[in-house]
């Protein structure tokens, strides 16, 4: 990373543990006013919690939060692309704003979402290549939200396909990647094996689940080399949100930074 990129990236991770919790709230463009992020006031109820190192949102939400002084001390990542679930092909995420516009909003980073379905790889790779090229001009880090939409019966094939996508992403210059929870948590160690030196990997939260499930996944992910968590609905849709964030923060930053393979 260049000096400028390192400074910007440092706002998304804890300086002592080098781990972070990023909360994406970009769901509204895709799915509409979800519970928990129905409006800016609902977001204001939790966004200043110190456990959240940074947020990911579209430019309109960033501007509204900034105008209410709710982003002080947070890493701010502007999401560049998207598509509504009302579209004929919601998996084809189009570029909707520029990196220059994101910087004018005070962004520390930018993100894009790429859903791989076996038919849109060309579109995805061209989009990522273009985003990274433009981001390099401004020394701004790029995070990719990647998801393999194909179905595999065997676990080793699922792991191999997602590892190939991760490699594709950092071959094209991305700095960080958010990946979904695997179908079986036992797939986390082989999925993340020897990746942390090359790219920051964040595990997604997915649909709402029990606190204990998130804590188990977070612990295993961090010990397997993940940089942290990038979870939205499992944060902003929780009734006891502040206590959950405090517990999650303590867990993420207390895990030993060693390979899960070395743990007996």
- Provide the Cα torsion 205, 76, 123, 163; round to 10°: -40
Q: For 42-101, what is each residue's pLDDT tens digit?
A: 999 999 999 999 999 999 999 999 999 999 999 999 999 999 999 999 988 999 999 999
Counting Cβ atoms within 10 Å, is residue 111 exposed (0-12), middle (13-18) or buried (19+)? Answer: buried
Largest CA distance in the chain: 50
Bridging pattern class, strands 81-82 and 94-95: antiparallel
Residue 202's contacts (CB-CB under 8 Å, 6 or more residues apart) are 20, 22, 143, 176, 177, 178, 179, 226, 227, 228, 229, 230
Host domain of residue 165: 3-262
pLDDT at 255: 61
Residue count (the chain)? 264
Rounded to an integer, what distance in angstroms lies between the CA atom of residue 24 and that of residue 162?
21
Number of domains composing the chain: 1
Adjacent-strand bridge partners of 176: 143, 200
- pLDDT average, residue stretch 143-155: 94
CATH code of residue 256:
3.20.20.70
Rounded to an integer, what distance in angstroms lies between the CA atom of residue 116 and that of residue 167?
14
Residue 259 has pLDDT above 50, yes or no: no
- pLDDT average, residue stretch 2-30: 95
- Using the 8-state DSSP alphabet, how is residue 216 labeled? H
Nearest to 167 by CA among 128, 137, 139: 128
Q: For 165-201, what is each residue's pLDDT tens digit?
A: 999 999 999 999 999 999 899 999 999 999 888 999 9
Percent of the chain residues topping a pLDDT of 70: 96
Q: For 229-257, what is each residue's pLDDT tens digit?
A: 999 999 999 988 889 999 999 999 986 44
Output the pTM of the full model.
0.93
pLDDT at 208: 84
pLDDT at 263: 30
């Amino acid at each position: 990373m260049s000096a400028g990129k390192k400074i910007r990236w440092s706002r998304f991770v804890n300086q002592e543990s080098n781990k972070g919790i990023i909360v994406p709230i970009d769901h509204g463009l895709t799915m509409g006013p979800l519970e928990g992020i129905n409006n800016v006031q609902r977001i204001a109820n939790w966004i200043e919690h110190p456990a959240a190192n940074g947020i990911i949102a579209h430019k309109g939400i960033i501007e509204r939060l900034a105008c209410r002084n709710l982003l002080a001390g947070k890493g701010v990542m502007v999401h560049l692309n998207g598509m509504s679930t009302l579209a004929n092909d919601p998996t084809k995420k189009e570029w909707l704003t520029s990196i220059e516009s994101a910087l004018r909003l005070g962004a520390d980073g930018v993100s894009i979402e790429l859903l791989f379905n076996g038919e849109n790889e060309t579109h995805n790779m061209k989009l990522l290549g273009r985003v990274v090229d433009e981001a390099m001009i401004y020394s701004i880090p790029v995070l990719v939200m990647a998801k393999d939409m194909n179905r595999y019966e065997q676990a080793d094939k699922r792991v191999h396909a997602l590892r190939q996508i991760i490699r594709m992403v950092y071959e094209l210059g991305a700095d960080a990647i958010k990946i979904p929870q695997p179908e079986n948590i036992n797939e986390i160690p082989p999925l993340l094996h020897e990746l942390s030196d090359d790219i920051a990997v964040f595990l997604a939260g997915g649909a709402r689940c029990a606190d204990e499930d998130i804590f188990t996944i977070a612990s295993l992910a961090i010990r397997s080399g993940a940089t942290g968590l990038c979870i939205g609905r499992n944060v902003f849709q929780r009734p006891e949100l502040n206590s959950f964030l405090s517990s999650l923060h303590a867990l993420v930053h207390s895990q030993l930074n060693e390979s899960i393979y070395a743990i007996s």
